Amino acid sequence: MSSVPSLTLAPWAVVMSTRVMIAYALIALLVVVLAIVIWNLRHHSQRNVERRLFERRATAARKARERREAREHDHA
């Protein structure tokens, strides 16, 4: 009798580890998708959209005022 290890359990172990790896990959993919969805919901919430619109209007008003003041200064 030789002391060769039995290989009867090897295919089952490979199948199980493959299934476990697939399960972990699917869970990781689900976590990534959920993270993207949550980020999008937070980023595009009504409050954030209104805040960005307010900031954009304030910036446009400031730049218009600066251009107007620069024109007045040039004419003076």
Express each pLDDT in 43-63 by its tens digit: 888 888 899 999 999 999 999
Alpha carbon distances (Å) from 74 to 17, 60, 66, 68, 69: 76, 21, 12, 10, 9
Distance CA 17, CA 10 (A): 10
26 pLDDT more than 70: yes
- The stretch 10-36 carries a mean pLDDT of 87
Label residue 3 by pLDDT band (50, 70, 90).
low
Averaged pLDDT for residues 12-28 = 84
Place of tokens 């003041």: 69
Residue type, 73: H
pLDDT for 73 equals 84
Structural domain boundaries in the chain: 33-76
What distance in Å separates the CA atoms of residue 32 and residue 38, rounded to the nearest whole number?
10
pLDDT at residue 36 is higher than 60: yes
